[in-house]
Amino acid sequence: MSTRRRKASGGVAYPDARGTLRERTVQALADGTLRGNLETAAASWGESRDAMRRDHGLDAMRDRARDIRRRNIRELPALLSEMQAKVREAGGTVVRAQDGAEAARYVTGLARARGVTVVAKSKSMATEEIKLNESLTDAGIEVVETDLGEWILQLAGERPSHIIAPAVHLNRGQVATLFREEAGTDDVPDDREGLVAHARVRLREKFAQAGMGVSGVNLGVASTGTVCIVENEGNARLVTSQPRIHVAVMGMERVVADWDEAAHILQVLPMAAIGQDAANYVNLITGPRREGEADGPEEFHLVIVDGGRGALRGTEFEEALSCIRCGACLYSCPMWKSVGGQAYGSPYSGPIGAVITPLLEGPASPTSRDLPFMSSLCGACGEACPVGIPLQDLLVRARARASSPATRRSAIVFRAWSRLWRRPTTYRAWMAGWRLMLRARGKGGWVTRLPGPGAGWTQVRDMPSRWPPRP
């Protein structure tokens, strides 16, 4: 099953990380199908999540979730040592990778050493981050995504649009077209149940061939060395039990102390992520198959990735490490709802992606430097976050960190502007001139195109020619 490069959404190509952030954003904004798909998905999530707030006390669970995650991050070195020791006690292997390249090299080397030709994967943002598929494919190993959304993206040759729902930007018709092309037949239904059944049949064939299963980790429980994998489809259960080797790739911050903490986070996660009071499947894996057991993998490897996370502890960005990757901040963000995750050009998108991607990639990264500016700073993300991460504050701090010569020039201009506005005489003169200019340009109370520096503003919105604007 090869990875093909094509576009499934609309007629507009907004390629993975190609082009600048601005180019990708403008292209995405021009895709009406994409925006429709995103709005539908976000509205549906909003209704379900509101029900969790109303009927299941999601908001009241936030304080405890925040305290747990803050403490986890403060005690991270000790928790990781405990986790490591417990996994080894249970017969597993633990590898600490400093960066994504080291992690991908380890998994690829292991697959080669064991003669693995097919790897079955379940959904994992960590493996996206370390570019594992590329590494395995370059080594001549076939990779099969078994999560429905990830498989759709593999067929489309696209990146995930959302942390939890990677193919949320595509509608049923677009998915049916992809499946028909992959199967080489028009005999694929386009209703939801039919599409799921079709994918199940195609993917089950691959499970039998896979010598290695690779998963992500939602939580690691230090007291027992258990990895928790939350899912709704049941494919992760097969990935972690059917092949003879299971590799779990975990960001180093995903560890909690014990089952009391894990139970709370595992309750909060599906409520915030998909508006359900429980996930369909919670897989708990402690080491490989024991002697006398009939099933499960013969080998279990836990790869713990630092990838820049360790350096964030003790900084003004430490709170970002509390993230449980629920995706609620994406669905609540007006920016993400307008352009989708692919415009960000990084595995993590939305407000949390705009904060952590530049931090993990480093301030000099030309691909992520501008991401903190992908926000209206409306605060909806911070309000939605079930572990109380002040995302809007982190975005402002990330903007200050990303300050380039161009943004420094803007800061000088805005400082001069603010001085002018503080004097009543210059303020009145400025406003009078501005009103005249806008009235001259406005039609029906709105200006649709401004010249010079105002052009960017009116590219995607109109400006009222009077204040207050006409209804």
Contacting positions for ligand SF4 (CB under 6 A): 163, 323-329, 352, 384-387, 389, 391
Residue 269 tokens read as 């996660």
CB nearer to ligand SF4: pick between 218 and 465: 218
176 in Cβ contact with 190 (< 8 Å):
yes
- Within a 13 Å sphere around the CA of 268, how many CA atoms are in the beta-carbon half? 30
CB nearer to ligand SF4: pick between 238 and 384: 384
Rounded Cα distance between 85 and 93, Å, is 10
Q: How far apart are the first and last CA of the chain?
A: 55
CB nearer to ligand SF4: pick between 21 and 352: 352
Backbone angles phi, psi at 21, to 5 degrees: -60, -40
Shortest spacing between CB 163 and ligand SF4, in angstroms? 6
Shortest spacing between CB 19 and ligand SF4, in angstroms? 26
CB nearer to ligand SF4: pick between 43 and 85: 43
Number of neighbouring beta carbons within 10 Å of residue 44: 14
CB nearer to ligand SF4: pick between 373 and 446: 373
Shortest spacing between CB 70 and ligand SF4, in angstroms? 13
Residue 179 tokens read as 């499946």
- For residue 326, the SS3 value is coil
Shortest spacing between CB 394 and ligand SF4, in angstroms? 9
DSSP state of 287: S
Rounded Cα distance between 271 and 274, Å, is 6
Shortest spacing between CB 116 and ligand SF4, in angstroms? 32
Shortest spacing between CB 441 and ligand SF4, in angstroms? 40
Burial of 313 (0-12, 13-18, 19+ CB in 10 A): middle
Shortest spacing between CB 375 and ligand SF4, in angstroms? 12
CB nearer to ligand SF4: pick between 234 and 388: 388
Among residues 18, 12, 42, 27, the alpha carbon closest in space to that of 339 is found at: 27
CB nearer to ligand SF4: pick between 125 and 175: 125
Where does 275-396 show beta strands of DSSP type E? 281-285, 299-305
